[in-house]
Structure 1
Amino acid sequence: MTDTSPRVVHPTREQRIQNGRLARRITPVASLADLAESDRDPVALLEKQAGTRVPQLVPVRYGRMATASFAFLRGAALVMADDLSRTPNSGLHTQLCGDAHASNFGFFATPERRTAFDVNDFDETYPGPFEWDVKRLVASLEVAGRDNGFTAKERRKITRACAAEYRETMRRQAELGNLAVWYSHVQPSAGNLGQLGPVDTVMEKRTRKVLEKAARRDHLHALGKLTIVVDGQRRIISAPPLLVPVEEVFADLDADGVYDELHRRLRSYRATLQWDRRILLEQFELVQAARKVVGVGSVGTRAWIMLLRGADDDDPLFLQAKEAQRSVLSYYVDGPTYANEGERVVDGQRLMQSASDIFLGWQQGPGVDGVVRDFYMRQLHDGKGSVDIEEMVPKGMKLYGRLCARVLAFAHARGGDRVALATYLGDDEEFDEALAAFARAYADRTEQDLQALRTAIEQGRVKAKTGL
C-alpha cells in the first residue's frame, strides 16, 4: 500500500522561536486589543442559523439569549466569529474550541473514574488563530462580571488574571517535552484547584459542593430524573418542548419503523468506536429515545437522548446524539472540510481534552424530511458538573477564570506550536493588558447586541419563548 500522506516537517526550536517573533512583528501583541467597527446585524446572523434548526425551538433559543448579556454571548458564537474575523490576526493557528466562553468549561469523570476539569463543548471546534479562543473566554468573564454587578476594577483584575494565566501556562508548556504536554491536565479537589494557590473556606465549601453534585450525576441519577415506570416498563417522561419522547415527535409515523431506523443509526455509530468499546456497547439494548433541548447556543439544533438497558433495569446507559452543523469559524478561516461534521467535533475534542468519553463517536443519516444530517454521540451524564457563573463573587470568578485559561492553554499546546505561541505572548504584561481592553470593548458591543435582539422581539421581527 502506498502512503500518500505528506511528510511531516520538524522545525528546530530556534526556527519555532523565530516564527513567534515574526508573528509578533507582523501583528504586535498590543493590536489584539483592537475591535473594529462593524455594521453587521447580530439578529440577521442569528436568523441565518435559525434556517437550519427546528422551527418550534428557535423561539426558545431567543428567549434564553434575551435574558442577560452573558446569556446572549453564550448563544452568539457566530456573531463573535464574525467580529473576530475583522480583528488583527496573529497567524498562529491551533485547534480551537470555537466557543470558549466561561460556561463551556466544567468537571467530568475520566475513563479512569477520576474527576477532571477541562473544556467541555466542541460544537464549533476548528483550526484557527489561538487568540480567538482566549478573547472569547476573557470577554465572557467581563460580560459575566457586569451582569453580576462587579466594579470595573474587579472586572479588570479578573480579565487580566485570566490572560496572564494563559500566557504563563503556555510559556511553561513550551519548556516541556511532547509527552509531558500531551498528558498535562487539571485534577481538581475541594482544596486544590489545579495548583492555582490556596482557596479560602467559603470557596472550598462551594467547590466541594460542585464536585459532589457532579459525582452524583451518573446514569442512575439520570434514570430517576428523566424516566418513570409505566405498566412495569421504564419510559422517558414527556415534558414538551424541552423533553419529548420520539413516539410523540413522530406521532404520524410507524413506531416500529422509527425504531428500526434508530437501531440502524446505533450500529453505524458503534462502528466509529474503538473495538473494545464496541464490545461494551453491544451489551446494552435500546429501550427508548427522546428529543431533548440543551444549552443556549445549541437550542434548535437536533439533540436526542437514548435510554439503553444493560444487565437489568438498574444498569442504564444514556447516550446523547447532538446534531453537528458546520463550525461557525469555518466561514471565516481557511481550513479543512469534513465529510461528517460529527467527526470534526469528535476529532477536535479528542485533541483538546486531556481525557474524553469512552462512548464518543459520530453518525450520519437522513431525517424524515430527507435532509442528511451529521451527529456526534457521547454519554449524557458521566460525572459532569459546572459552576454557576451567575452566582460567583469577584474572588471566585478570578480563580475560575485562571483555571479555564490554564486548561485552554493545555489544549492549545497540544494542537499548535507551543514554542512559537509562547514567544509571541512574551514574558511581560502586554498580552494581559490587550486582552483586558478587548474584553471591555466587546462587553460594550454585547450589550448593544442584546438590546438589538430585545428590540427585534418587541417589534415582532423574531418570536421568543421565555421561562424555558
Structure 2
Amino acid sequence: MRNGERVSLLKSRQALKMARSAHAYVRGSTLKFYEWLDEQKRGTLPEGPAVWICGDCHAGNLGPLADADGKIRVQIRDLDQTVIGNPSHDLIRLALSLATASRGSNLPGVTAAEMMEAMIAGYEEALRSEDDLRDMPKTIRLVMRQSARRTWKHLAKERIDDTKPTIPLGKKFLAISKAERSRIDKLFNSDQIRALVTKIKSRESDCGIDVADAAYWMKGCSSLGLLRYAVLVKIAAGKSSDYTLVDIKEAVKASAPRYKGVRMPRSNAERVVEGARALSPNLGERMRAADFGSSSVFIRELMPQDLKFDFDTMARDEAAEVSKYLATVVGKAHALQMSVAERRAWLRALASSRSKALDAPSWLWQSVVALISSHETAYLEHCRRYALAA
C-alpha cells in the first residue's frame, strides 16, 4: 500500500472510531481539550508542583501493567503527551472521561457529581499515604485476575489474531515498504534494543534475536496516523526459542501544556520514556527511545498482562468506587515525584474552592461541565461530517 493510500485509510478509520460514541470522541479529541486549557485565565485552575503528568489522562489510558519480572500493578498506560506540568490537568481530563462515560451509560447527573467527589477523595488519599493501593472495586479486581492469567497465546490472539509466527495483514495490520523493513531490521541489530528484549523474563543477554515479521499497526485513536509498527521477534537460546511482540510508535511534540522554565529531553521519544519512568515504572523500565529515519520513536515489548479498562458502560453502584480508585492511581503517580512539603501544599490548594453542598472543588466541577458541553456539541458535528462523507 502506498503512503498516500495508508494516510487516507487511517484518517477514515480515525473518523469512524470517534463517531462511535461521545466517550470515544473525548478519547480521540485530545487537541480540543488542550485548546480549552489554553483559553483558561491564569488562576482559574490551581497550580500544583512541577511533576511529570500523563497529559492525556482519560480512563482508557489506565490499566494493569506488568514489570520486567511479571509483577502487575495498575498504572498509566499511555504517555505520548507526558510533560512536566500542572497535575490538575490530569484530574480534569480523567473527570471529563468518567463523566462522559456515565452519560453514555444513561446515569443521572447526580452520579457525575458523586464520581468527582470520590475522585478528589481518592486523589488526596494517595497524596497522604505512603502505602501501595489495596482496595480495588470489583470491576478492577476482575480485570486484574484476567491480567494475571494471561499468556503469550492470549496476547497473540488478541493483538494479531493468530499464534503462528506471522502477522496477518488485513483488518489491523498493513504491509510495510522495503525501506521501513530495513529500518526495523537495523533497529533490532542495535545493542540497546537487544538489551531491552533480553531484559524481560530474565532472558540470557547473549541469546539471538531476529525479526520474524513486521507490519504497520492501525492502533489507537488520537494517535492514529503516526508511525506505528508491530514487530514479531524470534528469541533463540540454545535449542529453544520463543516469540515476543514489540511495539514501535512515533513520538511527536506534545500538545499538552507544560510549565515554563522546566527542562525536559529535546527528543520527543526520550521525553515519553522519561515521563513513563516517573509515572509508570512498570512500563517505563521496558521502554527505549530511538531514531527511525527522520522520526523519533519509542519501543516497548508488549506483555500478556498489559490490559486497559473499558468504561464505555458503567453501573451506577460502582461508578463512584471506580472513579475513586482510578484517581488514587493517578495521585500515587504524582505523589511519588513530590517532596513532603510539596504534597502538603498541593493538598491545601485542592482543599480550597469547595462549597458546603459539593465536596469536589468548584474548579473541577465547572471545568467538567464546560468541557462536556463543548465536546458533545463537537461530537454531534463530527458525526454529521462523518455521515456526509460516508
Report the TM-score, using the length of structure 2 for normalisation: 0.84
Residues 41-190 of structure 1 aligned to structure 2 (within 5 Å): 54-87=7-40, 88-92=44-48, 93-170=50-127, 172-173=128-129, 180=130, 185-186=132-133
CA separation of 1:207/1:105 partners in 2, compared to 1, >3 Å: closer, same or farther? Answer: closer
Q: Deviations over 1:135-171 (max 9, x none)?
A: 011111111110110001122111221122213332x
Match of 1:322 in 2: 249
Q: Letter of the aligned partner of 1:195 in structure 2? A: D
Residue 9 of structure 2 aligns to a residue whose secondary structure is coil
2:306 maps to 384
More displaced stretch, 101-110 vs 381-390:
381-390
Aligned residues: 369
CA gap of 1:409–1:209, structure 2 versus 1, over 3 A, is closer
Q: In structure 2, what is the Cα distance between the partners aligned to 1:269 and 1:334? A: 34
**CA distance in structure 1 between the partners assigned to 2:313 and 2:385 by the alignment:** 29
Higher mean alpha-carbon deviation, 433-442 vs 113-122, is at 433-442
Measure the CA separation in 2 of the matches of 1:60 and 1:118. 28
Supply the distance in 2 between the matched residues of 1:112 and 1:428 (Cα, whole angstroms). 44
Q: Which residue of 2 aligns with 1:212?
A: 145
> Which amino acid is 1:445 matched to?
S
- Alignment partner of 1:406 out of 319, 328, 351: 328
Shift of 1:185: 3.9
**What secondary structure, in the 3-state scheme, does the structure 2 residue paired with 1:321 have?**
strand
Please state how far the C-alpha of 1:393 moved relative to its aligned partner.
Answer: 0.4
Alignment partner, residue 25 of structure 1: none
Deviations 1:82-111 (A, max 9, x none): 101222243333211000011111012233
Query: Unaligned regions of 5+ residues in structure 1, if any?
Result: 1-50, 174-179, 187-193, 367-371
The amino acid that maps onto 1:57 is L
CA shift for structure 1 position 335: 4.7
State the alpha-carbon separation in 2 of the partners of residues 302 and 439 from structure 1.
32
Q: How do residues 68-467 of structure 1 correspond to structure 2 at under 5 angstroms?
A: 68-87=21-40, 88-92=44-48, 93-170=50-127, 172-173=128-129, 180=130, 185-186=132-133, 194-195=134-135, 203=138, 206-225=139-158, 226=160, 234-240=165-171, 242-244=172-174, 248-250=175-177, 253=178, 259-268=181-190, 270=192, 277=199, 280=205, 283-311=208-236, 315-330=242-257, 335-336=262-263, 338-356=265-283, 358-366=285-293, 372-416=294-338, 417-426=342-351, 429=354, 432-434=360-362, 435-460=364-389
AA in 1 matched with 2:28: G
Alpha carbons 1:352, 1:412 under 8 Å: kept? yes
CA distance in 2, matches of 1:109, 1:451: 38
- Worse-superposed segment, 138-147 or 426-435: 426-435
For residues 238 and 99 of structure 1, the distance between their equivalents in structure 2, rounded to whole angstroms, comes to 30
CA distance in 2, matches of 1:95, 1:331: 9
Distance 1:426 1:281 in 2: 54
- Structure 1 residues 357 and 285: alpha-carbon distance in aligned structure 2, compared to 1, 3 A threshold: farther
Change (3 A) 1:281 1:140: farther
What do you get for the CA RMSD once the two structures are aligned? 3.0
Residue identity matched to 2:135: Q
What's the offset of the Cα at 1:292?
1.3
Q: Residues 164 and 429 of structure 1 are in contact (CA less than 8 Å); yes or no, is this contact kept in structure 2?
A: no
- 1:112-136 CA distance string (max 9 Å, x none): 4222111111010001111111001
Rounded Cα–Cα distance in structure 2 between residues aligned with 1:63 and 1:313: 43
- CA gap of 1:135–1:228, structure 2 versus 1, over 3 A, is closer
Amino acid at match of 2:176: V
Q: What are the Cα deviations for residues 353-372 of structure 1, in whole angstroms up to 9, with x where unaligned? A: 24335431111122xxxxx1
How big is each residue's C-alpha offset from its partner over 1:425-467, in whole Å with a ceiling of 9 and x where there is no partner?
Answer: 238955714213322222111101102212332444xxx6xxx
CA distance in 2, matches of 1:290, 1:314: 22
Structure-2 change in CA distance of 1:90 and 1:208 (3 Å): closer
> Please, what TM-score do these two structures have when normalized by structure 1?
0.71
For the pair shown, the structure with the greater C-alpha radius of gyration is 1
Structure 1 residues 400 and 427, CA gap change in structure 2 (3 angstroms): same
Residues 208-217 or 388-397, more deviating: 208-217
Against the structure 1 CA distance between its residues 96 and 228, is the aligned structure 2 distance closer, same or farther, given a 3 Å change threshold?
closer
The answer for the alignment partner of 1:22 in structure 2 is none
Whole-angstrom CA distance in 2 between matches of 1:333 and 1:456: 37
Aligned to 1:28: none
1:355-399 Cα distance to aligned partner (Å, 9 max, x none): 335431111122xxxxx1111111223301233202320222221
Distance 1:86 1:269 in 2: 45
